[in-house]
C-alpha cells in the first residue's frame, strides 16, 4: 500500500532549497570565523533569509552551532523539509504503515531499488523519523504521546518493555479524531 502524497514528506521541495540553505549556513560560518558576529547582526540576516525561503520559525534551529549536532548538511535538510500537513480521513491502514514501516521498520519505501546511494532521498532517508513523529503529533493530537507510545513501558512488576507496532497503532487510533 502506498501512502497518499499529502502524507509523505515533500522531498522535491526540500531538494530544491537545500543547496541554497546549506551554502548560506556555511557562508555565515566562514563570516563568523573571519569577522565574528558579537551583535548577531549577520545571524539575524541569515535567520531572516532562511525564514523567507522556507516560512519556518527559525527559533527552533541553532544556526551557529551546527557542528555540535549532526552537521550542517542534516541541519539544512531539517530546515528545508516542509512541515507535515494536516490530512483528513487518515485510515487505520495508513496509520499502521506510518508506525510499522516509516517509524519502526523504516523501510526503503521512499527509495527506488536502483536509486543511487548518493541521491538526495538516499542521503537524508535516515532523518525522516522526526517528520513522521511531527505528522502524528499534528494529525493525532488527542492520542499522540511519545513517551507513552514510543518510549519504554513498565509492567506491574516494574519490568521494562516496549509496545508492539500493533499496540502503538491501536493507542494512536483509539480515541483519535478518526474513529
Residues 48-90: tens digit of each pLDDT:
999 999 999 999 888 877 767 789 999 999 999 999 999 999 9
Closest C-alpha among 2, 5, 11, 1 to residue 127:
11
Band (pLDDT 50/70/90 cuts) for residue 92 is very high
pLDDT at 151: 95
- Cell numbers describing residue 137: 503529533
pLDDT band at 177 (very low <50, low <70, confident <90, very high): very low
Overall average pLDDT of the 147-166 stretch:
95
pLDDT of residue 1: 81
Q: Is the pLDDT of residue 116 over 60?
A: no
Determine whether 68 is exposed, middle or buried from the number of CB atoms within 10 Å of its CB (0-12, 13-18, 19+).
Answer: exposed
Report whether 47 contacts 63 (CB < 8 A): yes
Which pLDDT band, with edges at 50, 70 and 90, does 2 fall under? confident
> Which residues, at least 6 apart from 28, have a Cβ–Cβ distance to it below 8 Å?
42, 43, 46, 63, 64
Coil, strand or helix at 160: strand
Position with higher pLDDT, 113 vs 16: 16
pLDDT exceeds cutoff 80 at 115: no
How far apart are alpha carbons 83 and 135 in whole angstroms? 8
DSSP state of 2: P
Question: What is the overall mean pLDDT for the chain?
Answer: 89
Running DSSP on this structure, what letter comes out for residue 10? -
**pLDDT over 80 (residue 178):** no
pLDDT in tens, 21-45: 999 999 999 999 999 999 999 999 9
Amino acid at each position: 500500500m502506498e501512502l497518499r502524497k499529502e502524507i509523505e514528506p515533500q522531498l522535491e521541495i526540500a531538494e530544491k532549497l537545500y543547496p541554497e540553505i546549506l551554502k548560506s549556513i556555511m557562508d555565515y560560518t566562514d563570516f563568523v570565523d573571519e569577522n565574528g558576529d558579537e551583535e548577531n547582526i549577520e545571524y539575524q540576516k541569515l535567520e531572516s533569509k532562511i525564514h523567507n525561503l522556507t516560512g519556518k520559525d527559525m527559533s527552533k534551529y541553532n544556526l551557529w552551532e551546527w557542528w555540535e549536532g549532526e552537521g550542517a548538511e542534516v541541519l539544512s535538510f531539517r530546515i528545508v523539509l516542509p512541515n507535515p500537513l494536516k490530512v483528513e480521513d487518515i485510515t487505520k491502514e495508513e496509520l499502521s504503515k506510518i508506525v510499522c514501516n516509516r517509524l519502526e521498520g523504516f523501510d526503503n519505501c521512499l527509495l527506488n531499488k536502483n536509486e543511487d546511494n548518493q541521491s538526495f532521498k538516499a542521503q537524508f532517508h535516515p532523518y525522516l523519523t522526526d517528520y513522521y513523529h511531527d505528522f502524528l503529533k499534528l494529525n493525532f493530537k488527542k492520542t499522540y504521546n511519545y513517551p507513552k507510545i514510543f518510549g519504554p513501558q513498565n509492567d506491574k512488576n516494574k519490568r521494562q518493555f516496549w509496545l508492539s507496532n500493533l499496540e502503538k497503532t491501536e493507542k494512536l487510533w483509539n480515541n483519535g479524531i478518526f474513529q
